[in-house]
């Protein structure tokens, strides 16, 4: 008598999300399945059907049954249904195995992403609530920092189980934000589909009535009621009163609405006040004739757009002119280190461009402008503007900066005095282009003119350097050939 053992080998490959099943192997007293088949087939007390059965098991041993597991419950059954006839003298133990992988909803805790070195904390603004279903990479909340907003997406599709931080609460890098039950969206969708099936069957329209066999037959007479029907006079019927409409606002009413300042607005107010309290700000003005730069743009804007797939604007001319003037007047590009009481001179030019967003003013930085041409500057401005519109600006995009340009002309500003963006030492203010009468070679002509303003820290920059700097910008914008001649 030979004892038979049918073990089941189950291999799970969790990384790839797959389940591998291998049929059981047969062994006789520790011998291999192949040897067992040969030994039993040659035995006098074993019939030929048993040999065929063991050969089938041996062949099945070399096969892999792979079932994909995609986050849902998977049940697999391994059954050997081939009948085998054994002699009475041989004892055979046959076992049937069933394997299953039951899906368990995984609960994950999403934490606050790491901030930049200059940012330590932020305020949470929730976009979703407890019980809301979210898709993968869908924004669940935003963290407003001093410089920008950081979006926190869902790592996977699921349902929000718990919010660990209240709306408006302060968080640091690595703080737990919310708990997400992964895969709950797909799990809840199955019952809803099953519930829709009976409702659809119940909502099926009834079959049309069969046509009357005798169209000339009279309809049946309705039965006469045995009791008198209670009636009411028309005057006793009261109409249903309509729902009361909301009371209109009183004309000339005086109301107030208080809104909490977000962190970015608070930081902007703090920095602007620090600039007023720290810097000895002084502003000098000049005007720029935009005739030549407008003519250049008119001639080459179509070819520029066709070749580089971006529009040619006026900002590239002012940014390049500012880089040229900063190289000529290094004091405007320098900064005072109040801690060590030293002046830090930079041999590079990183220009911050002020951009107005619904949440406040941001200043992304164009780096190494002194090495760029008009095309490179336009591409950099276009890329940063696209990030600002999509609220994708990172803290790294706004760190640094040695000089700032603010263009109030896009809003129609004619004249203004910008405020320094600390710790910088100066800022250039651009304004709108308006036709004005000017004296040209003793004659009055109408020219497109723009007022420009330079606000500088008089602790570091003297009046001579500031005026020379602004006149250098005026010369380059009015005639870009100055850049080619290095004048």
In the set 457, 458, 479, 486, the catalytic residue is 458
Distance CA 130, CA 166 (A): 12
Model pLDDT for residues 242-285, shown as the tens digit of each residue: 455 555 556 678 899 998 887 778 888 888 898 889 999 999 99
Tens of pLDDT, residues 38-67: 444 444 444 455 555 555 545 554 444 344
Residues 80-109: tens digit of each pLDDT = 444 444 444 445 455 554 444 444 468 899
Task: With H, G, I as helix, E, B as strand and everything else as coil, classify residue 59.
Answer: helix
Catalytic hit among 399, 462, 479, 486: 462
Question: Which SS3 state, helix, strand or coil, does residue 183 take?
Answer: coil
Lowest mean pLDDT across 111-125, 327-341, 428-442 = 111-125
Those residues with Cβ within 8 angstroms of residue 182's Cβ, 6 or more apart along the chain or in another chain:
71, 105, 106, 107, 108, 155, 156, 157, 158
> What was the pLDDT predicted at 262?
79
* Helices and strands (H, E) in the chain, number of each type: 9, 23
Residue 450 phi, psi (nearest 5): -135, 130
Count, residues in the chain? 487
The pLDDT of residue 51: 53
Q: Strand pairing partners for 427?
A: 404, 455
Whole-angstrom distance, CA of residue 301 vs CA of residue 395: 33
Rounded Cα distance, 99 and 119, in Å? 52
For residue 160, pLDDT beyond 80? yes
CB 45 within 8 A of CB 89: yes
Q: Per-residue pLDDT for 325 more than 90?
A: yes
- Choice among 39-48, 160-169, 290-299, 418-427 with the minimum mean pLDDT: 39-48
Q: Is 458 a catalytic residue?
A: yes
pLDDT at residue 9 above 50?
no
- Reply yes or no on whether 376 is catalytic: no
pLDDT of 220 over the 70 cut: no
Distance CA(33)–CA(26), nearest Å, equals: 5
pLDDT in tens, 444-485: 999 999 999 999 999 999 999 999 999 999 999 999 888 887
Distance CA 148, CA 171 (A): 15
Dihedral Cα 382, 384, 390, 395, nearest 10 deg? 180
């Amino acid at each position: 008598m030979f004892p038979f053992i049918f073990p089941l080998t189950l291999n799970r490959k969790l990384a790839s999300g797959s389940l591998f099943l291998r049929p059981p192997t047969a062994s006789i007293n520790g011998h291999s399945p192949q040897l067992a088949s040969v030994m039993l087939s040659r035995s006098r007390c074993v019939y030929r059907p048993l040999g065929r059965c063991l050969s089938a098991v041996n062949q099945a041993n070399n096969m892999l049954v792979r079932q994909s597991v995609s986050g849902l419950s998977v049940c697999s059954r391994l059954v050997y249904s081939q009948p085998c006839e054994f002699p009475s003298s041989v004892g055979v133990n046959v076992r049937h195995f069933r394997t299953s992988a039951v899906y368990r909803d995984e609960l994950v805790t999403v934490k606050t992403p790491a901030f930049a070195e200059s940012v330590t904390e932020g305020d949470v603004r929730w976009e979703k609530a407890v019980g809301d279903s979210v898709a993968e990479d869908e924004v669940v909340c935003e963290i407003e920092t001093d410089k920008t907003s950081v979006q926190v997406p869902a790592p996977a599709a699921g349902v929000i189980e718990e919010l660990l931080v209240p709306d408006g609460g302060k968080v640091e890098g690595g703080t737990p934000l919310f708990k997400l039950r992964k895969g709950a969206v797909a799990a809840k969708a199955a019952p809803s589909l099953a519930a829709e099936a009976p409702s659809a069957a119940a909502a099926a329209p009834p079959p049309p009535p069969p046509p009357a066999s005798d169209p000339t037959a009279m309809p049946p007479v309705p039965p006469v009621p045995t009791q008198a029907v209670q009636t009411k006079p028309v005057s006793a019927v009261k109409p249903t009163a309509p729902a009361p409409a909301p009371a209109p606002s009183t004309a000339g009413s005086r109301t107030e609405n208080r809104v909490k300042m977000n962190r970015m607005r608070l930081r902007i107010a703090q920095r602007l006040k620090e600039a007023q309290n720290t810097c000895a700000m002084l502003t000098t003005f000049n005007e720029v004739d935009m005739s030549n730069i407008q003519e250049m743009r008119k001639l080459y804007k179509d070819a520029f757009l066709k070749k580089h797939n971006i529009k040619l604007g006026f900002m590239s001319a002012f940014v390049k002119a500012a880089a040229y003037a900063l190289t000529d007047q290094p004091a405007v590009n320098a900064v005072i280190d109040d801690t060590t009481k030293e002046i830090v001179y930079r041999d590079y030019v990183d220009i911050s461009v002020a951009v107005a967003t619904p949440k406040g003013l941001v200043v992304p930085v164009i780096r190494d402008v002194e090495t760029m041409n008009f095309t490179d500057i336009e591409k950099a401005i276009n890329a940063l503007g696209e990030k600002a519109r999509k609220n994708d600006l990172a803290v790294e995009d706004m760190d640094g900066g040695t000089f700032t340009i603010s263009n109030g002309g896009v809003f129609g500003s004619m004249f203004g005095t910008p405020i320094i963006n600390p710790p910088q030492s100066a800022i250039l203010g651009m304004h709108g282009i308006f036709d004005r009468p000017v004296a040209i070679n003793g004659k009055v002509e109408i020219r497109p003119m723009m007022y420009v303003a330079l606000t500088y820290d008089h602790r570091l920059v003297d009046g001579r350097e500031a005026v020379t700097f602004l006149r250098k910008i005026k010369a380059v914008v009015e005639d870009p050939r100055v850049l080619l001649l290095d004048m």
